[in-house]
Structure 1
Amino acid sequence: MKAARGADIVILGEVHDNPRHHEIQAQAVKDLQPEALVFEMIPEKHEAAVNRLREEGASRAELASALNWEESGWPDFAYYAAILEATPEARVVGGEQPIEQVRAAMTEGAAQVFGSEASTYGLDEPLGRQAQEAREQRQYEAHCEAVPKEMLPGLVEAQRLRDAGLADAALRARAVTNGGQVVVITGNRHANLHSGIPEALRFAAPDLELVTLGQLEAEPEPDAPPPYDFHHVSAPPDRPDPCAEFRESVD
Structure 2
Amino acid sequence: MIKSAPSHRARLSRPALRAALLLAPALLLSACAALRPAATAPAAPLPTAPFVLLGEVHDNPAHHLERAAQLRRLLADGRRSTVVFEQMGRDQDAALAAAPREAEAQSQAGGLDRQGWRWPLHKPLFEAALAGQAQLRGGNISREQARALVRQGEAAWPEDLLPLKLATPWAPAQQQALQAEIEQGHCGAMPARLLPGMVLAQRGRDAAMAQAMLQARAAGAERVILIAGNGHVRRDLAVPLYLQAAGVPAEQIHVQAYLEQASGPAAAEPQTALYDRVVRTAKAQREDPCAALRQTGKS
TM range (shorter): 0.7 to 0.9
Q: Does 1:44 align with 2:86?
A: no
> Which of 216, 224, 241 in structure 1 is aligned with 2:288?
241
Q: Distance in 2 between matches of 1:46 and 1:30?
A: 24
Q: Distance in 2 between matches of 1:111 and 1:61?
A: 36
Larger Rg: 2
Residue 122 of structure 1: how far off its partner (Å):
3.7
Opposite residue 135 of structure 2, the aligned amino acid is: R
Q: Give the CA RMSD over aligned residues.
A: 2.5
Q: Deviations over 1:131-163 (max 9, x none)?
A: 222211111101111111222111111111000
> Which of 181, 191, 203 in structure 2 is aligned with 1:160?
203
Q: Does 1:30 align with 2:72?
A: yes
Q: Tell me the residue number matched to 2:149.
A: 105
Q: Distance in 2 between matches of 1:104 and 1:196?
A: 20
TM-score, L = length of structure 1: 0.86
Q: Does 1:150 align with 2:169?
A: no
Q: Distance in 2 between matches of 1:143 and 1:104?
A: 19
> Which of 112, 133, 138 in structure 1 is aligned with 2:181?
138
Q: Distance in 2 between matches of 1:130 and 1:215?
A: 25
Q: Deviations over 1:26-65 (max 9, x none)?
A: 011101116100000111333333333344xx4x444444
Q: Distance in 2 between matches of 1:80 and 1:181?
A: 21
Q: Tell me the residue number matched to 1:213.
A: 256
Q: Deviations over 1:201-233 (max 9, x none)?
A: 111123360011111113444234252111111
Q: Tell me the residue number matched to 2:140.
A: 96
Helix, strand or coil for the counterpart of 1:214?
Answer: strand
Helix, strand or coil for the counterpart of 1:135?
Answer: helix
Q: Deviations over 1:12-36 (max 9, x none)?
A: 0001110000011101110111610
Q: Deviations over 1:154-185 (max 9, x none)?
A: 11111110000000011111122x14101100
Q: Distance in 1 between matches of 2:224 and 2:283?
A: 28
TM-score, L = length of structure 2: 0.73
> Which of 227, 232, 257 in structure 2 is aligned with 1:190?
232
Equivalent pair of 1:16/1:75 in contact (CA under 8 Å)? no
Q: Tell me the residue number matched to 1:114.
A: 158
| Closer/same/farther in 2, CA of residues 239 and 3 from structure 1, 3 Å limit | same
Residue 243 of structure 1: how far off its partner (Å):
1.1
Residue 97 of structure 1: how far off its partner (Å):
0.7
| Structure 1 unaligned spans of 5+ | none
| Closer/same/farther in 2, CA of residues 113 and 62 from structure 1, 3 Å limit | same
Helix, strand or coil for the counterpart of 2:285?
Answer: coil
Helix, strand or coil for the counterpart of 1:241?
Answer: coil
| Closer/same/farther in 2, CA of residues 200 and 246 from structure 1, 3 Å limit | farther
Equivalent pair of 2:168/2:241 in contact (CA under 8 Å)? no
Q: Distance in 2 between matches of 1:218 and 1:173?
A: 34
Identity %: 30
Q: Does 1:17 align with 2:17?
A: no
Q: Distance in 2 between matches of 1:206 and 1:68?
A: 29
Q: Deviations over 1:92-151 (max 9, x none)?
A: 1111211111112224435751215423244776x3232222211111101111111222
Q: Distance in 1 between matches of 2:267 and 2:205?
A: 28
Q: Tell me the residue number matched to 1:175.
A: 218
Residue 3 of structure 1: how far off its partner (Å):
5.7
| Closer/same/farther in 2, CA of residues 246 and 91 from structure 1, 3 Å limit | farther
Q: Distance in 2 between matches of 1:124 and 1:207?
A: 14
Helix, strand or coil for the counterpart of 1:17?
Answer: coil
| Structure 2 unaligned spans of 5+ | 1-42
Q: Distance in 2 between matches of 1:123 and 1:114?
A: 15
